[in-house]
Every structure is written in C-alpha cells, then in structure tokens.
Structure 1
Amino acid sequence: MTDRLAALYAAFNERDVPAVLAALSPEVVWPNGWEGGTVHGHDEVAAYWRRQWAEIEPTVVPTAFATEPDGRVAVTVHQVVRDKAGSLLADQTVTHVYRFEGDLIAEMEIRDS
C-alpha cells in the first residue's frame, strides 16, 4: 500500500490528474484543504485541483506511513506551498488519512500534525 500511495503523491506533484483519479473511488470524498469543505467524485476533485494549481504550487512529499486500528492509512507529509511567483506561502507537516474500499481510496482526511 505504501508504494501505491507514494506513487499517488508523485502523480499529484506532477499534476497528472488521470493517474491520481485512477486510484480514487468514483464516489470519493476529498477534503478541500484550500477553500474549505469537501468535494465528491472524480469531476469535483479534478476541478478543485485545477482551480488550486491555477493559483498556487503545492508539493507534497510523504515521510511516514502508519496503519490505524480501524484499517485506515495515515501518511505524514511535508507540504510546501508557493505562489505562482515562487514565494513561499507554507512549509508544514500534516497527516493525510485514507480510507480504502478495495484497492481504491474512498475518503481522505487532513489532520494537523
């Protein structure tokens, strides 16, 4: 599972929307960490990322993986966000928690680390 999640982050950082969506359930629930709330399904997730990437340049690198008692997978990530001019907006560590249905991600949650 860690290899698949690491590949997911690499695809996100490369802005490869089709590769990331292929790992998500069609009914995925995804946090809108930039604007607030959640988005649902492939179309809303893709539209959210495209809006985000039009304004900012986030890079998210996993640094640790752990399985929670309920089976979800927690990924500690180093997140660096820059504006389009390259100025640093955020440099932080957060935790992303994934719930799977079969091999697909059904839900993701963001926790402050």
Structure 2
Amino acid sequence: MENLKTFFQELYYNFNTRKIDLVIARMTDDVKWANGMEGGYVFRHKGVKEYWTRQFTMIRSNVTPLEIEQEKDLVKIKVHQVVHDLNETLLSDEIVYHYFRMRGDRIAGFDIGKAP
C-alpha cells in the first residue's frame, strides 16, 4: 500500500471536494460504511454513493485529518469535523474519530466514534 498518510489525506481531500467516485474507488466492493446522519450502515459502492448524494443535499461538511494511527488492518484517524446546513448555519464543530478497516489497499469498513 502507498504511504498511509498520503492515502488518507487524498481520501479526505476528495471527500471534501465531493469527488466521491474517487473515494469509493478506494473501497472494497462489499464495503460496510457507517451512516453518520441516520444511524446504522450502508453497504457496497452503490449504498455509499446514494448515502453521500442524499447527505450533500442537506448539509455541507468538511473533515480534516489531524492524527493517523494504524494497528494491523485498523486505521484510527482523529478528525476535525465541521458541518453546516445549506444556509451556512453551523450545525457542529467537533473532534471525532474515524475507524477504517482495511483489506489490502482498500477500505472494507468504516465507523465513527466521539473523542474520548
């Protein structure tokens, strides 16, 4: 796998600039992705794309990675997450953790956790 820091910096850049097909291309076909808006999970490339397409019609988010740690196939990323509604009203500005389960050089799973 390419440099871990570069991989995830590019991933977050592509998410923040809404190049979602580039982000989805980094996932396994059977990815399990946390639905941060409604709870539960979405599955496979189609589920992630539909979820993000719907999400982007309701909010504008920006997520910046601050710290990246890896232990075997689990990558934990401390992120600064800022979310506005479409009228630019701030909805949240917080530190959260993103957990990526890797399979080789692809993302097989994603979860979200609050800062301890």
TM-score of the aligned structures, taking structure 2 as reference length: 0.94
Rounded to whole Å, the distance in 1 between the matches of 2:84 and 2:58 is: 9
Number of the residue aligned with 2:14: 11
Structure 1's consecutive aligned runs of 4 or more residues displaced over 3 angstroms after TM superposition are none
**1:52 is matched by which residue type in structure 2?**
Q
Deviation at 1:25, TM superposition (A): 0.6
Number of the residue aligned with 1:85: 87
Rounded to whole Å, the distance in 2 between the matches of 1:10 and 1:100 is: 19
2:88 partner SS: coil
Number of the residue aligned with 1:101: 103
Q: Deviations over 1:70-96 (max 9, x none)?
A: 531100000000000101000000000
- 2:64 is equivalent to residue 61 of structure 1: yes
Q: Deviations over 1:15-57 (max 9, x none)?
A: 0011001101110000000111000000000000010000000
Number of the residue aligned with 1:29: 32
Does the 8 A contact of 2:73 with 2:103 survive in 1? no
2:56 partner SS: helix
TM-score of the aligned structures, taking structure 1 as reference length: 0.96
Rounded to whole Å, the distance in 1 between the matches of 2:54 and 2:73 is: 32
Deviation at 1:2, TM superposition (A): 1.4
1:12 partner SS: helix
Q: Give percent identity, aligned residues only.
A: 38
Q: Give the length in aligned residue pairs.
A: 112
**1:71 is matched by which residue type in structure 2?**
D
1:4 partner SS: helix
- Which runs of no fewer than 5 residues in structure 2 stay unpaired? none
**1:58 is matched by which residue type in structure 2?**
S
**2:20 is matched by which residue type in structure 1?**
V
Does the 8 A contact of 2:66 with 2:78 survive in 1? yes
